[in-house]
Amino acid sequence: MRRSSTVADETKGGFFSELFAPVAGFGVTFSTMFRKVATQEYPEVKWPTQPRFHGRHQLNRHPDGLEKCIGCELCAWACPADAILVEGRDNDDARGLRFSPGERYGHIYQINYLRCIFCGLCIEACPTRALTMTNEYEMADNNRADLIFTKEQLLAPIQEGMLPAPHPMVDGMEERDYYQGKVTAATGEQREWAEQQAGDER
């Protein structure tokens, strides 16, 4: 008797569990339908990125506006995705046309964001801290050519106290003085030189 009643109880339990299984599933659905959604509605709502987020690259400048890139091409050699193209060129000291405090500067600088994997190895390889990564991540496009960023797109904007290159170095300063932080802004002599050049071009 006991055995037959146990079998009957198990049969009833199996029947009821099969009967209410869909209802239990819908119970989970209904319990979450009216709960507040935790997902972010991008692009209407944008979360701020972390300070060390690897976003779009930036070519930095010295406080007087000269470029930090010396065209050494170490970033291109370090890139595992072969996404960086750099061509260095000598500064023209004879005419006072300097783009960087060093002997050379990055004449052509391109980053192909179709290949870039944002690993940051190029940042580690840069000896002058010329290349850093910003927090900008919105770079999607429907044209492949527009995802190859040029030097003009990557250069940091001109800040207060800077002059756009090319122009002479600060008088009496050497390349190492720039990296030791002795140059804080463009001098009056540099500004006069830039104004004279602008007048000659007119």
DSSP string, 96-122: TB-SSSSSEEEEEEEEETTT-----HH
CA separation for the pair 128, 130 (Å, rounded): 5
Rounded to 5 degrees, what are φ and ψ at 86?
A: -130, 135
**pLDDT (0 to 100) of residue 69:** 95
Q: Are 82 and 114 in contact (CB under 8 A)?
A: no
CA separation for the pair 90, 87 (Å, rounded): 10
The fold for domain 57-201 equals Alpha-Beta Plaits (3.30.70)
Rounded to 5 degrees, what are φ and ψ at 108?
A: -120, 130
**pLDDT (0 to 100) of residue 129:** 93
CA separation for the pair 80, 125 (Å, rounded): 12
**pLDDT (0 to 100) of residue 202:** 61
The answer to whether the pTM exceeds 0.95 is: no
The per-residue pLDDT string of the chain (202 residues; one tens digit each, 9 = 90 and over) reads 455 555 455 555 566 677 777 777 777 777 777 787 777 788 888 888 998 899 999 999 999 999 999 999 999 999 999 999 999 999 987 776 799 998 999 999 999 999 999 999 999 999 999 999 999 999 888 999 999 999 999 999 999 989 999 989 998 889 999 999 999 999 999 899 888 887 776 6
3-state secondary structure of 82: coil
Q: What are the domain boundaries of the chain?
A: 57-201
